[in-house]
Amino acid sequence: MRTLVIGGVAAGTKAAAKLKREDRSAEVILITKSSDISYAGCGLPYYVGGLIETEEELIVNTPKKFEGLTGVRVLTGREAFHLDAEAKYVQARNLANGEEEVYSYDNLILAVGASPIVPDVPGMRLPGVFQMRTPQDAYAMRAYVEEHRVKRAVVVGGGFIGLEIAENLQVRGVSVTVIDMMPQIMPNVLDPEMAAYVKKHLQKSGIRIQTGTALKAVLGENEATGIQTDQGTIQSDLIVVSIGIRPNTAFLKDTGIKMDRGTIVVDEQMRTSLPDVYAAGDCVVVKNRITGMSQWSAMGSSANYEGRTLAQVLTGKDKTYPGVLGTGVVKLPGMNVGRTGLTEAQAREAGYDVETVLAVTDDKAHYYPDSDSFATKMIADRGTHKLLGIQVVGAGAVDKMTDIAATSIAMDARLEDLENLDLAYAPPFSTAIHPIVQAAYILQNKISGEMVSMTPAEYARGKAKGYKVVDVCPNPQIAGAVYVDLSTVNGAIEGLAKDEKILLVCLKGKRSYFLQNRLKAYGYTNTVVLEGAQYFNDVKVEGVKFQVSPEEITRVKALGFLQDKRTSNCFNGRVITRNGKITAEESRVIAEAAEKFGSGEITMTSRLTIEIQKVPYENIEPLREFLANAGLETGGTGSKVRPVVSCKGTTCQYGLIDTFHLSEMIHERFYHGYGQVKLPHKFKIAVGGCPNNCVKPDLNDLGIIGQRVPSVDLEKCRGCKICQVENNCPIGVAKMEDGKLHLDSGQCNHCGRCDGKCPFGAVATEMEGYKVYIGGRWGKKVAHGHALDKIFTSEEEVLDIVEKAILLFREQGITGERFADTIDRIGFENVKKQLLSDELLRRKQENLAAQKHLKGGATC
């Protein structure tokens, strides 16, 4: 019995390997278009981000290794182009030599997978445009990011893969914008309010999200420089297109095989409509395990299950594949997202009488060090209490919540079946009553009427209009709300009528439910609990000016927005100018942004950033999106490398070096390249073109000053009565002594003013370069930097010194102290020795990976 398998990633290799294990006598041949088989497709984004370090780690099995382990014959570089189901053979092209080959079979397994959808827009073939499907895609993207020092990227597509790529590019210090033509990210995966919550979190994490935005073109001539959308242009060095995939089934269109929108239709035993032809993986449509309706679920997990089931069927076992639940999980910056089963919209469409709840619970014992919260949306049928779906977001193990729900749905569980589920408990792992059980309790209370509530979706649609908001937090939190101390309520509450519409809001929802329960006993008939409370919702009281919380003030400060203390909700937004130099077009954009989102006023900071004045809190994200479309960003605060300050360099009459060029290199390599690196405190860099020190380099954590070191040729010195060199020395270091010119090298500041002043050529420049000062600062405690002895003669030398200084500060600084304090504590000679060696660079990756200085010391 010969079985031919077409496709060598998940479903194909799983089916082939299992088939050989079930029947060692079976002849199994696997052909695949790729040169790789069995690669970790879901791990590709993490290779781009560097979490997976080597290419080899992505390859689960090589063809040779797979043949040795399984006994399957593997032929790579073969592209199938014709199937004759009646004669039972497949024609394939050998991509190495172009020859056509014929493979006969007794049973055929189609596991041809799917390929990325490439939109038909101009510029898609430009260098710098990538998809993410194969190891070669990941290798090429990572190499491009490193070689081109990519600092801005656009990801087209807000699904799981697109968001994983966005996270991993951000890890590499790339500024990322995600666009999606749908009105939400993760469409058909999350309900709109859950997607909106994730979007808000991503934006807070520094990833810009633009939904309802369609790609129209990729911009650039020799390489990609940005995109054109139906909302405007976005500048970018890298474009990743992740808008979906389509099955690789075009070669089957004349075979008569039954298909549904390009996917192969199979039964529960993975049989197609053609005799002895089976299919599995991303190229097939199966059924939804709850509704029984067709569903395409292109997941590595389901592909493996399908392949295994298929192999057992081929060896005579009575096995069936029951279908999918659409289970998935994704890791995002500071947040994980999991889901299984039906969304609320899908459940309603399927005809269920739907009830939902949004429950915010602790993800483990609240006193355990890394405890956080889950926001869980649970979906059930109101009449039968059958669990239909779950969506979970949080910093912790959302996969565990999702998997428990998937198991329960597969077992046709009702909410009551979750009530006393004996799940694992210990403080590092869970709460005594498991979070998923708590969510089931809350949904049961809602269905029974014990809790009357309003969902976040209803609140967002304005259902709370006309309600009096009651703040049930431990301490007053909501501006303009009626505050009620839960612990003191023993009867009717003064000022609250028993029949008026009351919305109860606390931090997570529990205290509101407790108060509702108590108020019912005292005759209140119209109280409603806001599900998700303040944790999930932006709660505002009608007619009351919104008050920004201290936590939000701190968060937006990290984005470059400092509160204008004359107001309650306005901020001054710092626009990064790289080194004080911007284009005329950028200047126009900033001016327009100031008028559109702020007061119309602009100021300059001492660090050469531009501040847009009085930006209302609600305008912060729209402003950042507006600026991002022009390639501009906000920031410049926190315990990080700060934007570099530069003088005008060679445009000044005394300038010795091209400060704009050097400072822009520093900006890209360290402000951007180290953008996610937490330091003990802020780290300021200044570049001066000459010893005039206009930008005070020696009062920065690290200062660079242009140098022109002179030399004196005494044989050419004529001992002139009036020495032109002496007359032109601005600091009086050059002097005539005993009839000859003397220049004190210890006092000379290498300003270069003496070069060429001697008519006989006695003084000339011996060396041009850079002096580096470390450990300066101004402010409450002024310190002048220490100069390193060496004059550095190339920009690369200077960049290395800057990097080593940052690495030393991160490694050996104590959280909260400035670089000057670190140098004083461990000694200048010690620091100098380390900076002039390469040991710090050799420890770079270990240093940057360490979880240090997570709470820095910078206050502005």
pLDDT tens-place string over residues 6-20: 999 999 999 999 999
Pair 265, 294 in one domain: yes
Last residue of a domain, one of 628, 653, 684: 628
CATH code for the domain in which residue 576 is found: 3.30.70
pLDDT digits (tens, 9 = 90+) for 61-81: 889 999 999 999 999 999 999
Q: Mean pLDDT across the stretch 829-848?
A: 95
Last residue of a domain, one of 214, 243, 272: 243
Residue 653 has pLDDT above 80, yes or no: no
Task: Locate all alpha helices (DSSP H) within 52-159, ordered by sequence.
Answer: 63-70, 135-147
* Burial of residue 422 (number of CB atoms within 10 Å: 0-12, 13-18, 19+): exposed
At 858, the pLDDT band (50, 70, 90 cuts) reads low
Strand 152-156 and strand 238-241: the pairing is parallel
pLDDT digits (tens, 9 = 90+) for 22-34: 999 999 999 999 9
Pair 111, 122 in one domain: no
Contact criterion met (CB below 8 Å) for 226 and 219: yes
Q: What is the pLDDT of residue 554?
A: 87
Residue in the block written with tokens 């949306």: 377
* Burial of residue 354 (number of CB atoms within 10 Å: 0-12, 13-18, 19+): buried
DSSP for residue 777: B
Pair 464, 560 in one domain: no
Q: What is the pLDDT of residue 775?
A: 96
Which of 575, 563, 560 has the alpha carbon at shortest distance from 614?
Answer: 563
Number of Cβ within 10 Å of residue 227's Cβ equals 27
DSSP for residue 671: I
For residue 204, give every residue at least 6 positions away whose Cβ sits within 8 Å of its Cβ, in sequence order, or none.
555
* Alpha-carbon span 432 to 676, nearest angstrom: 36
Pair 136, 261 in one domain: no
Q: What is the pLDDT of residue 203?
A: 86
Pair 531, 616 in one domain: no
Pair 141, 202 in one domain: yes
Pair 423, 471 in one domain: no
For residue 524, give every residue at least 6 positions away whose Cβ sits within 8 Å of its Cβ, in sequence order, or none.
496, 498, 502
Task: Locate all alpha helices (DSSP H) within 71-174, ordered by sequence.
Answer: 135-147, 160-171
At 780, the pLDDT band (50, 70, 90 cuts) reads confident
In a domain, 858, yes or no: no
Per-residue tokens: 71: 């006994």
Q: What is the pLDDT of residue 36?
A: 85
* Alpha-carbon span 619 to 356, nearest angstrom: 32
Number of Cβ within 10 Å of residue 471's Cβ equals 24
Q: What is the pLDDT of residue 857?
A: 66
In a domain, 747, yes or no: yes
pLDDT digits (tens, 9 = 90+) for 373-393: 999 999 999 999 999 999 999
Q: What is the pLDDT of residue 645?
A: 92
Q: Mean pLDDT across the stretch 773-798?
A: 93
pLDDT digits (tens, 9 = 90+) for 677-708: 999 999 999 999 888 888 899 999 999 999 99
Strand partners, 454: 530
Angstrom CA distances, 261 to 181, 265, 545, 841, stand at: 21, 10, 52, 54
Q: What is the pLDDT of residue 40?
A: 76
CATH code for the domain in which residue 707 is found: 3.30.413.10
Q: Which of 171-175, 329-333, 454-458 has the lowest mean pLDDT?
A: 171-175
Q: Mean pLDDT across the stretch 203-219?
A: 91
Residue in the block written with tokens 């063809």: 63
Number of Cβ within 10 Å of residue 224's Cβ equals 24
Average pLDDT, the chain: 93
In a domain, 89, yes or no: yes
Per-residue tokens: 187: 């469409």
* Element containing residue 418 per DSSP (H, E): helix 415-418
Contact criterion met (CB below 8 Å) for 647 and 695: yes
Backbone angles phi, psi at 164, to 5 degrees: -65, -40
Q: Alpha-carbon torsion 78, 83, 85, 89, what sign?
A: negative
In a domain, 321, yes or no: no
In a domain, 614, yes or no: yes
One-letter-per-residue 3-state SS of 124-152: CCCCCEECCCCHHHHHHHHHHHHHCCCCE
0.85 surpassed by pTM: no
Which strands, in side-by-side order, build the sheet including 129-130?
Answer: 129-130, 238-241, 152-156, 175-180, 208-211
Contact criterion met (CB below 8 Å) for 623 and 604: no
Q: What is the pLDDT of residue 735?
A: 93
Q: What is the pLDDT of residue 706?
A: 92
In one letter, which amino acid is 568? Answer: S
pLDDT digits (tens, 9 = 90+) for 413-443: 999 999 999 999 999 999 999 999 999 999 9
In a domain, 261, yes or no: yes
**205 vs 97 pLDDT, higher one:** 97
Per-residue tokens: 451: 């809790």
Pair 658, 782 in one domain: yes
In a domain, 543, yes or no: no
Strand 245-247 and strand 114-116: the pairing is antiparallel
* Alpha-carbon span 462 to 460, nearest angstrom: 5
At 287, the pLDDT band (50, 70, 90 cuts) reads very high
Angstrom CA distances, 648 to 642, 696, 697, stand at: 19, 13, 13
* Element containing residue 707 per DSSP (H, E): strand 702-712
Q: What is the pLDDT of residue 859?
A: 53
Q: Mean pLDDT across the stretch 275-301?
A: 95
CATH code for the domain in which residue 430 is found: 3.50.50.60
Residue 860 has pLDDT above 70, yes or no: no
Q: Mean pLDDT across the stretch 161-175?
A: 92
Pair 226, 96 in one domain: no
Secondary structure of residue 581 in the 3-state scheme: coil
In a domain, 143, yes or no: yes
Per-residue tokens: 106: 């007794």
Last residue of a domain, one of 628, 660, 677: 628
Q: What is the pLDDT of residue 488?
A: 94
Q: What is the pLDDT of residue 546?
A: 72
Residue 233 has pLDDT above 90, yes or no: no
Number of Cβ within 10 Å of residue 635's Cβ equals 23
Q: Which of 343-352, 543-552, 772-781 has the lowest mean pLDDT?
A: 543-552
Give the chain's domain count. Answer: 6
Question: Treating both helix axes as pointing N-terminal to C-terminal, what angle do 659-666 and 795-812 enclose, rounded to 10 degrees?
Answer: 40
Q: Give catalytic residue positions.
A: 42
Q: What is the CA radius of gyration of the chain?
A: 33
Q: What percent of the chain has pLDDT over 90?
A: 78
pLDDT digits (tens, 9 = 90+) for 572-618: 999 998 888 888 988 999 999 999 999 999 999 888 889 999 999 98
Pair 293, 337 in one domain: no
Pair 105, 224 in one domain: no
Residue in the block written with tokens 């382990």: 69
Pair 586, 480 in one domain: no
For residue 73, give every residue at least 6 positions away whose Cβ sits within 8 Å of its Cβ, in sequence order, or none.
27, 28, 29, 30, 67
At 231, the pLDDT band (50, 70, 90 cuts) reads confident
Q: Which domain holds residue 236?
A: 118-243
* Alpha-carbon span 75 to 103, nearest angstrom: 11
Q: What share of the chain is helix, strand, coil (3-state, %, to 5)?
A: 30, 25, 45
In angstroms, the first-to-last Cα distance of the chain is 73
Which of 608, 667, 640, 707 has the alpha carbon at shortest distance from 799?
Answer: 667
